[in-house]
A and B are shown apart, each in its own frame.
Chain A
Amino acid sequence: MFRHGLPISNRARAESVFYNFALHVHPVKVRKRSIKFTYTFGLGGLSAGLFFILTITGALLMLYYRPSVTEAYGDMKDLQFVVSSGQFLRNMHRWSAHAMVAVVFLHMLRVFYTGSYKPPKEFNWVMGVLLLVLTILLSYTGYLLPWDQLAFWGVSVGTNMARAVPFGLGDKVSYLLLGGNIVGENALVRFYVLHCFILPIVTLGLMGVHFWRVRKDGGV
């Protein structure tokens, strides 16, 4: 658009979509019905937008945060009082994370109530459910990182639930998650790696499949 000026002809409008890396997730033309706001409420797009905001703010937060029991809480306090706009950065990350859990859930409800999960889109619905689970896991692993009372006990409650897994696997699952029997140094590092690397990579991959399937099934 900046290289070629505003696309005035339909040919130029079409070219601005399929010669552009970012825009070529979209078809050149879309159904008027499917971009009506009250049909989708833009919830899928907003989920992707939130993921984008969370990646940016998360990367910036990583610059000031060390995942260690002795340093983590102090770094949070530094973000609050020392780092310029640190509090704003953290607020933005926190509220976006809460919003993303809610928006992804609402997106699922929208897809259900408009019947958009029906064949041939059933596989993409499954991708969507996995993405919802991943969103919750991302939010949950991030919950521990501030290393305050809220984080510590919130995560303890959750991992205690994992102990209830039957057939003697409960303690093993919990040990695998925490790297020990209690929420401590190892757990913090594991949650940090899950939160900042493993889960985002998996989510990004599934998002790629999800968007690709939307196109293959004739969506926007």
Chain B
Amino acid sequence: MPKEFEVESSSNAQKVPKRVEFVKERTAARVRQEETEMVMTVPNLLVREVIAFMILVIVLSLLSLLFNAPLEWQANPQHTPNPAKAPWYFLGLQELLHYFPPVVAGVLLPTLVVVALIVIPYFNVNLKQEGMWKQHRPQTLVIALVSIGVVCAALLIFHVYAMLVPTVLMTLLMLVPYFSHKEHGPIGWLATRPVQWWVMTWFVVMVLVLTAIGTLFRGPEWSWTWPWDHIY
């Protein structure tokens, strides 16, 4: 039978405190992962950084040579363009303004998004990134469907079909691995996605859809317009 522990002691107790190591075999600290391979920063990382920065400067220079930054007529407070649009990264918010009261779209939702992003790492749920349907399948299904149902009901009340349709489509996608038990291919991949992956991806899809609609599909009076119909 192998030894279960080792005792190590020093000779001079006054100088060095006595150290006793007690290692049970089952809990022995053993290397789970090989030490990751290290390389010198110079040149390996430095060369990559220099190349990346050079490509960045070249691409931006080419863009700047080919396309001019927009400059319209001088600002005129008497003449409101129709539609008046914010910069593109706010057009998702402006699109929300079309559906919700200003206090919700302009204040509540952006604040919620920033707060939600900040607290992400403090939610220590599912640190192992296990697939959503790995454990407690029925409970997970009920909780997921109820929370998605609440969101969808809110979207339905405010007629936000632009958000409702992608949400429903993503929910269907999320449910595929619940019913199918394939372990390989796209379905197998979906099955390994943790719950936080679904929430974040849903958020990204919403941002993309709303920004795209606000940028490309909104014309005078914020009415639906096809991109090829209007002047820009």
Binding site for B on A (CB under 8 A): 7, 10, 13-14, 16-17, 23, 26-33, 35, 37, 42, 45-46, 49-50, 53, 69, 73, 76-77, 80, 87-88, 90-96, 98-99, 101, 108-109, 112-113, 115, 117-119, 121-122, 125-126, 129, 132-133, 136, 139-140, 143, 146-158, 160-166, 182-184, 220
Contact = CB atoms under 8 A, between A and B. Distances in A.
B41 A164 contact: no
Chain A interface secondary structure, helix, strand, loop or mixed?
helix
Chain B interface secondary structure, helix, strand, loop or mixed?
helix
A182 B97 CA distance: 20
Interface of B: 36-46, 48-49, 52-53, 56-57, 60-61, 63-65, 67-77, 79-81, 84-90, 93-94, 97, 101-103, 105-107, 114, 117-118, 120-122, 124, 127, 129, 197, 200, 204
A149 B73 contact: yes
A158 B53 CA distance: 33
A146 B204 contact: no
Contact of A162 (B52, B106, B129): B106
Contact of A126 (B81, B118, B124): B118
A29 to B, nearest CB: 4
Contact of A152 (B46, B76, B124): B76
Contacts of A30: 38-39, 41, 44-45
B95 to A, nearest CB: 12
21 contacts: A10-B40, A29-B39, A32-B38, A32-B39, A45-B49, A53-B57, A73-B74, A112-B200, A115-B129, A119-B124, A129-B118, A139-B89, A140-B90, A148-B72, A149-B73, A153-B81, A161-B106, A164-B105, A164-B107, A165-B103, A183-B75
